[in-house]
Structure 1
Amino acid sequence: MTNLTYSGDYPIEFPSPSVISVNGVVLEVFEAGSQNVGNPILLCHGFPEHAFSWRYQIPVLVEAGYHVIAPNQRGYGKSSRPAEVAKYDIEYLTGDLVSLLDYYGYKEATFMGHDWGANVVWNLALLHPQRVSKIINLALPYQERGEKPWIEFMEELFGSDFYFVHFNKQPGVADAILEENTTQFLRNIFRKNVPFSIPEPGMSMINLAQASMSLGEPLMNEEELSVFISSFKSSGFTGSINWYRNLDRNWHLMADIKPRINQPTLMIYGDRDLIPKSPNLHDFAPKLDIVSLDCGHCIQQELPEETNQAILNWLERQIA
């Protein structure tokens, strides 16, 4: 693929990054398929990830005629990591994507998100609906805004050791432990075919960072994993964890926004993901199609061929 150039930082063919100034920050952006200008798709990664998590989708989407734009979002990789926690709220995160569209001269685009990236895409469609033409989200369905702020609700439901709550109630603690054990944490969290087990006491992310044994099988080889390890050894984890520290702020910011997503939407679930499927996603996204694959949470990395086929089939139907 002539549009993809090998970078010495990556073990497989992958776009070389550009550093782009948008929305008061700089973003490290991986672009491919510039010959397909006019047909953009933006890929939004999750936690604790990197744009490299889309390595299997980028060349396939380019071949299908898309101009692919995959940023390391703020807090990740070589993108900006503002010190102020509030700089990671949903208005800033969605604002970065809108500014990327402006930078490339696009009025709208298809957006695809995984995990936290999916959450940003859902909210982008609510806050800036005119900029989103189609949605493909993986793993995380739209999260209905309840009567209580998110952290209060989660603490009542899951307890103070739940990692969302811990990140907020004990700032800096998990950040330091994950940074001290970066390699071990990432090797332990990026697994597949993990057998069901009763959760251990304590905070799950800290447990993963400190565990000497890994369950299941490696999600990626050592060369691929090294991309994530190198990135987080450079950036640390505070920027990415600060996304969680804005959940209650986001709850307030979205108070007056009608939760109606009118764009054509594809939701891809992993049947073995611990995140539950939404029983009423159609209520929020009426133009919805659903695909379920036999895998865990990291869908596009665990079953890349099946994921790519589901995405391409759906996109072709939208054109038809």
Structure 2
Amino acid sequence: MLNMIDFPEPTHISVNGVDLEVFEAGRENKGNPIVLCHGWPEHAFAWHSQMPVLAAAGYHVIVPNQRGYGNSSRPDDVTAYDIEHLSGDLVALLDHFGYDDATFVGHDWGAMVVWGLALLHPNRVNKIINLSLPYQERGEQPWIEFLEQIFGGDHYFVHFNRQPGVADAILDENTSRFLRNLYRKNEPLKEPEPGMVMINLAKAEAPLGGPVMSDSELAIFVSSFEKTGFTASINWYRNLDRNWHLLADADPIIRQPALMIYGARDLIPPSARLATFVPNVDVITLDCGHWIQQEKPEETNKAILGWLGRQNAS
């Protein structure tokens, strides 16, 4: 077992037909929950700089390895990773702890789950803080169909769906190299390469830019994915069109107070229509790339605590 560098010991909680590996801080603050949801290809450890700070500010911090990750369950059925299951896990986690609602924080795919949770279970979410990925409009076409028309078959969302198993095997064979090459910051601008970006990263000899985290921190991610493989986590992508259908009858407007944190150098662009769908949103942009809370931990903590303080005072 790797030393998790002062990270809390997990508990294993059975909810919604799966076992989730859950890390907590600030249990003494019961009654004031905040749930942190990681993205892809991440781990609950991605929030290690936020957990103690939020606990010190009076929050009961709950950080699951979501289904498909770490030592949480990895169901075989692809549809077990749709938005109903992923949001249902979070609802069941609240039920386990005896909470009617909570503040939810998401990064990357975790943000997608938090937006979906607020659409499907709005009464369980009191505030939203999302990093990197803004609210995604449902649009006229299922998401993968739309992306395939715009970007073609090499877009990694499309490739994951149209060529199941191909990327999974390459990432599994090159786990350490892939994650080393992916978790970078201050990367030089360059022309897009032909091919599928995640496969290219898994095969690239040398990383660009600088490392987002230390070798010992990166080793936690590498060890986790060497154990689990990537298929379960990639199955989240394989439900995007299914999610489009599942959200058909949901009210598309998110009414909770929300904070959107962008990275100025993230490849995911800001949403010009965010306030149309999230009318009570505030926006902060930090000078960083995609891995916001790990690239800029102090600035992220300041943004989160400042916004929460203003919300709680109003």
Query: Shift of the alpha carbon at 1:146?
Result: 1.1
- Quick check: 1:272 aligned with 2:265? yes
The CA deviation string for residues 229-267 of structure 1, in whole angstroms up to 9 with x for no partner, is: 000001100000000000000011111112111101000
Q: 2:306 aligns with which of 310, 313, 319?
A: 313
Which runs of no fewer than 5 residues in structure 2 stay unpaired? none
Alignment match, 2:55 = 62
Q: CA deviation at 1:49?
A: 0.1
**Equivalent of 2:46 in 39, 49, 53:** 53
1:118 aligns with 2:119: no
What is the rounded CA distance, in whole Å, between the counterparts of 1:10 and 1:311 in structure 2? 28
Of 229, 237, 245, the residue aligned with 1:244 is 237
State the distance in 1 between where 2:295 and 2:273 align. Answer: 26
Question: Equivalents in 1 of 2:36, 2:2: separation in Å?
Answer: 20
Tell me the number of residue pairs that the alignment of Structure 1 and Structure 2 aligns. 313
User: Residues of 2 paired with 1:10 and 1:38: CA distance?
Assistant: 30
- The two structures, once aligned, show a CA RMSD in angstroms of 0.7
Aligned pair partner of 1:90 in 63, 79, 83: 83
Identity, in percent, stands at 69
Q: In 2, distance between residues paired with 1:30 and 1:305? A: 21
Are 1:79 and 2:72 an aligned pair?
Answer: yes
Q: Which amino acid aligns with 2:246?
A: L
Written as runs of structure 1 = structure 2, the 5 A alignment for 1:159-308 is 159-308=152-301
CA distance in 2, matches of 1:108, 1:140: 22
Give the CA deviation at 1:11: 4.4
Counterpart of 2:35 in structure 1: which amino acid? L
What secondary structure is seen at the aligned counterpart in 2 of 1:261?
coil
1:5 corresponds to: none
CA–CA distance in structure 1, aligned partners of residues 307 and 95 of structure 2:
26
Indicate conservation of the 8 Å contact 1:10/1:224, yes or no. no
Q: Provide TM-score, normalisation by structure 2.
A: 0.99
Letter in 1 for 2:18: V
Question: Match of 2:150, SS?
Answer: helix
Rounded Cα–Cα distance in structure 1 between residues aligned with 2:158 and 2:113: 19
- Tell me which of 129, 132, 140 is aligned to 1:136: 129
Unaligned runs of 5+ in 1: 1-7
Aligned position for 2:18 = 25
CA distance in 2 between partners of 1:46 and 1:93 (Å): 12
Post-superposition shift, 1:274? 0.3
Query: What is the DSSP-based 3-state SS (H/G/I as helix, E as strand, rest coil) of the residue aligned with 2:52?
Result: helix
CA drift at 1:196: 1.2
2:3 maps to 10
Distance of 1:215 and 1:251 partners within structure 2:
35
Q: Please name the residue that 2:37 is paired with.
A: 44
**Partner SS, residue 188 of structure 1:** helix
